[in-house]
Structure 1
């Protein structure tokens, strides 16, 4: 790697262990290097904060992932943030402004035919691999061999570095009573034979736990929550009724515990695909009863959905939310479901607001991730609001009904003041 290079790291838990730190160790020898990744795991990320580092190695990203150092860099103008959904990252590398020189990834050891697996991170890997002049791969014996479009031949890799490190994990979190109630409410909207998309975290695991009685579910998603293992084992998720990729769980990356990685390893039900395929709204819409389930930080009474900012701070990124919301709405029998707890800050702040500028909360997200024109269902622990077929006033009333009782009177009062409701 040399001055002026644009470097790409494999995504999330596919992030290489050794090479990013070695790059940052010699950062002061380099100038004007750009380092692209999404949410980083390695300790290399802390070196970004050293004074003047952005002149040597500068972060570039589309997803901060709530990592404090990355959020700070963006706030201070010391990182490059591209406001695009995940589906557009391959475009960014192949046709857009970030044409990579070096791609650093993690792969499984090769099989007897010379093929390694990209493991838990296929997403933008093929675009980076094909666009980069140099490909470096850490060969990690702990990386699962996933099925689908995940196999890269040794001839496609310029340099191999042998490591034996645990694949990065995201630990399971305890499910709260609020998340459990939200999961129960969401499950009531998921029909038998639906194709579901669902993300990671306590909310996602709570939702999957209430889907065990469903019949012949399918899955077309970015990542597979750990609760999927139980749904497959108990026969709720079969993918038999899918309209495309029948009998396959289609995903693009994975993040979880070793239990998930062991389950993914050589599992023929898994079909890993590049992110510009999994997250293509047109492909998503082809799935039978496509049901996209995504979390948000805040929803206003107009139906605008806020998921990636706190105030004007770039807290995370759009991720695949816009891709799947649009895909579900393009599907003739699809549903887009936005889920969130009704409050934040230990119950001191309502996540249902008339508008963020009227909330009195300095951390209230000010820029929507998905605008009101694409709103469908919103779910809290207090109920379900169906918005797609409602007027602006009707939406406001439906959303107030699922707000926390402690804030309902204030929401009604503010909504009346601006003539949003009578």
Structure 2
């Protein structure tokens, strides 16, 4: 059906000054990535662009700065150092709009590196656990190189491509990168209780990966007929689906299906989604599209932040002027939840950092980016309660956010804020 070649042979198609897209998250095609990095001595000025990827990113080695430049659409730990080292940059973009950059040739792609399941008897492969902007990359790249892996789950939805769309095949048999579910702390469990209290039966959920989403999910076991339309999900949803808490029966769009654009979790998650028609994977220009998501009544978006100022401005992508992650899909879902009938836009975070620094601040740190504006936020949740900001004045917001800050910081936060506004 197709002829397999080695990764080194396949990557010979990459030339100096090319732009290469790498499939995201747990689907990052490591054999192809490693082969690309091995060509560092002969290549110059190759731009490697992607969202967060799991696993090593050897092309991001600062010693290879003349060979590769990293363009991050969402900054992961494996490439964060490139911003300071000078061999990497960050492109701010909503995840819903990332495919548009390729479709309109704003970013012209030369090569797409993807990771797929083996083709079925009809010649169709699955993009598995990550679709995001990869479909747009495949459609617009001059060359598509696929890492074909029997361990890649075959997921349903839009991430199905025919072998005729692929120019080179590299067979591997390696595990998909995964993360075991973390155990929430007492603080995260308290936040989870508050957030769960805001979620009504028949709501549709968007949430990410991590301890706070896991804590929220663990508190939803008595809820009924919840839906799932989310950028990504992890292991925490499996038991809720199996116990008929998440049924997706009351969604207005894609009813009866759990919607996502990428997945990261344990092997249990990958086994669960394999050939499971309940889980539908689509590109981020659909999954994160505000006009699509808002059609679900009682849409609940649960996101986090690095810091929030007393007026409700949310910084979620930088620590001061140092870029840390990215815009991602936060605004896509915050806006969609705001426009949904009965929807709720929630920012949930611990009141302090691990070092005891308050995350609710009088004003954002100099250089900090505003991912979600003060006009978009509905609820802010910490372990000390819920601040309902929607329709509230600045004065009311200051009071509400001060009350859910850590008690050790409340007086200082309020005093500093009033000193700032009074000059």
TM range (shorter): over 0.9
Q: How many Å separate the matches in 1 of 2:247 and 2:52?
A: 31
Alignment of 1:22 with 2:24, yes or no, is: no
**Gaps spanning 5+ residues in structure 2: where?**
1-13
Q: How many Å separate the matches in 2 of 1:22 and 1:261?
A: 26
Alignment of 1:110 with 2:112, yes or no, is: no
Alignment of 1:9 with 2:22, yes or no, is: yes
User: Which of 195, 200, 205 is matched with 1:186 structurally?
Assistant: 195
> 1:93 — aligned with what?
102
DSSP 3-state at the match of 1:8: strand
DSSP 3-state at the match of 2:125: strand
> 1:352 — aligned with what?
360
Worse-matched range after superposition: 74-83 or 16-25: 74-83
Q: How many Å separate the matches in 1 of 2:173 and 2:96?
A: 31
Q: How many Å separate the matches in 2 of 1:50 and 1:233?
A: 46
User: Which of 199, 203, 215 is matched with 1:206 structurally?
Assistant: 215
> 1:63 — aligned with what?
74
1:3-402 equivalence runs, <5 A: 3-43=16-56, 45-51=57-63, 53-65=64-76, 67=77, 70-347=79-356, 349-357=357-365, 366-402=368-404
Q: Alpha-carbon deviation of 1:79?
A: 1.4
- Contact 1:277/1:283, CA 8 A, preserved across alignment: yes
1:395-414 equivalence runs, <5 A: 395-414=397-416
Q: How many Å separate the matches in 2 of 1:236 and 1:213?
A: 7
Q: How many Å separate the matches in 2 of 1:149 and 1:60?
A: 26
Q: Alpha-carbon deviation of 1:103?
A: 0.7
DSSP 3-state at the match of 1:152: strand
- Contact 2:102/2:137, CA 8 A, preserved across alignment: yes
1:21-65 superposed Cα distances (whole Å, 9 cap, x missing partner): 11111112011211112223333x2452333x2321111111112
- Contact 1:75/1:314, CA 8 A, preserved across alignment: no
- Contact 1:103/1:128, CA 8 A, preserved across alignment: yes
Aligned length: 409
DSSP 3-state at the match of 1:211: coil
DSSP 3-state at the match of 1:292: strand
> 1:361 — aligned with what?
none
**Gaps spanning 5+ residues in structure 1: where?**
358-363
Q: Alpha-carbon deviation of 1:419?
A: 4.8
1:338-393 superposed Cα distances (whole Å, 9 cap, x missing partner): 0000001332x000111134xxxxxx872211111111100000000000110001
* TM-score, normalised via structure 1 length: 0.94
- Contact 1:173/1:201, CA 8 A, preserved across alignment: yes
Runs of 4+ with >3 A deviation:
none
- Contact 1:13/1:254, CA 8 A, preserved across alignment: yes
Worse-matched range after superposition: 141-150 or 168-177: 168-177
Q: Alpha-carbon deviation of 1:404?
A: 0.6
Q: How many Å separate the matches in 1 of 2:52 and 2:417?
A: 37
DSSP 3-state at the match of 2:296: coil
> 1:360 — aligned with what?
none
